Amino acid sequence: MPTYTPPLRDMQFVMHEVLNVVADFKQIPKHADIDADTINAVLEEGGKFAAEVTFPLNISGDQEGCKIDQGTHAVTTPKGFKEAYGKYIEGGWAALGCDPEYGGQGLPYVVNSMFYEMLNSANQAWTMYPGLTHGAYAALETHGTPEQKATYLPKMTSGEWTGSMCLTEPHCGTDLGLMRTKAEPQADGTYKITGNKIFISAGEHDMTDNIIHLVLARLPDAPPGIKGVSLFIVPKVLVNKDGSLGERNGIYCGGLEHKMGIHGNATCQMVLDNAVGTMVGQPNKGMQGMFVMMNAARLGVGNQSLGLTEVAFQNALAYAKDRIQMRSLTGPKAKDKPADPIIVHPDVRKMLMTARAYADGGRALQAYCSMLLEKEHNHPDEKVRKDSGEMLAMLTPIAKAFLTDNGHIATNACMQVFGGHGFIKEWGMEQFVRDNRINLIYEGTNTIQSLDLLGRKILGNNGATLKKFGKLVGALVAEEGVNEKMAEFITPIAVLGEQMTKFTTEIGFKGFQNPDEVGAAAVDYLRVAGHLVFGYFFARMAQVALREIAAGNTDPFYAAKLQTARFYFAKLFPETATLMRTARTGSKVLMDTDAALA
């Protein structure tokens, strides 16, 4: 059976020693009184909840799955899920990062992000039920009317009601302009909505009395394509004016999708049959609210893979220390045993360190994005808000795609450490692989994220935001450029930072002549950009570790951070050279393949 220990020390390192989040909070009035001890105490309790309440349900939830009653359309979650959710509400965890105006605790986004990393490590399938509520909450908080906010946000904040995102239809996934769901206006200002949605995570379940669906649909006179999409609140149970629950609405689960992983989460085919809805925002402007949900969800999906990378690493490391097979190539290490633990073998260590490095880098990026989100929404300086939002927009597709791709690499590597045992359910490793795999598809496939990064976020403003990130890299290079002990960390990011300008310009020029060039280069480009971002954070982590060691700190924690950074730059970062080379080969070798694909 797998185990899980919340990585609290690693989280504290990123927040307090690398990013110094409390100093940033001092500049934000609503968080000016928050200190490190408060953050640490909250996350310690959050780690207990994840490890003791939801983690024990992970394997059983996967084996049992969700069940639907075709007569009533009711969905039952695996044994223990509902009770765990009750404890989640009782503990106030649903309200952690929500606005106090609606009953929330108002804690910083970074605290909620770290808490959700632990929940995802413990049980991604369970975590998606409350997790999806955050995206719906964000959309309503941004675009809802005062009446809509007063009706729905307090219950979503408390966790009494959950939320879902009803976007995808059988004939269209990412291309939402093709959707057919219709919304007919009614005399009372509501709409009757009819259509079919698929792949709706947490679309129906037994953990709460109500589910607040945010549904994309078309008005009768809507213009074609994406410009004719509107957003609607469609509650599972209608809400009376006094806030009490009324009649069952005309939205129900027609069937459950049987997926490769996350069996404990209900992925629903949702049927809307004259369901009553109210519009969010303006007619035909539904994509504005949808993108609020999607951007929140994209960061959340990256966090899902970060969580699975961490728990897979922990279990693979424990196994590698215990499992004995063969002798070390340099001679016996466990002379009292018939063979050595497999951790003595170089390639086992490479697999373990790959997972560790991708967990450390991913955690730093998630924390940094959370702080950007905080500044964008709450910093008193308008310029800081604008700059933070711009940087976050560029980093979001990286946080989603790079972290989930890395999660795929890491969970597979950790399963490989177990050899044949990795394929046996009891060890839990094959479930981590299966559960993670869908994250590469969620909230826009990683190819979509790559096109968004290169086409919109980079080329769309002529590399202006990329240059701003380049200045962060340049400042670190200038600060540590003469420090010989930092050379192995500074030189690679300095070189790649310079290469990125030429690389981006070249791809952009070719794309201007032939848009397929952008499509052909985008996936490789995102991965290069991801390594530049990770490289920057690993250099900062190494900087802190070296300072502590130089000051006489003998805590092996810092030696471990230094070794992880060295491994990352030696074994993982160099793939940027290959990626830039393959990106430059262009689109012709891909598109001139009619005979091969006939």
Catalytic residues: 443
Check if the beta carbon of residue 381 is closer than 8 Å to that of residue 416: no
DSSP 106: -
In Å, what is the CA distance from 345 to each residue of 309, 320, 328? 21, 10, 6
Name the residue type at position 146: P
In Å, what is the CA distance from 141 to each residue of 77, 120, 162, 240? 29, 25, 15, 20
- DSSP count for the chain of H helices, then E strands: 18, 11
Backbone dihedral angles phi then psi of residue 483, each to the nearest 5 degrees: -90, 110
Distance from chain centroid for Cα 573: 22
Residues 233, 235, 240, CA angle at the centre, nearest 5°?
Answer: 105
In Å, what is the CA distance from 91 to each residue of 5, 45, 49, 80? 20, 10, 9, 16
Of the candidates 233, 249, 25, the residue with the CA atom closest to the CA atom of residue 137: 233
Distance from chain centroid for Cα 331: 43
Distance from chain centroid for Cα 355: 17
Helix (H), strand (E) at residue 198: strand 191-201
DSSP 325: -
Backbone dihedral angles phi then psi of residue 104, each to the nearest 5 degrees: -80, 170
Check if the beta carbon of residue 366 is closer than 8 Å to that of residue 117: yes
CA distance 5 to 436: 19
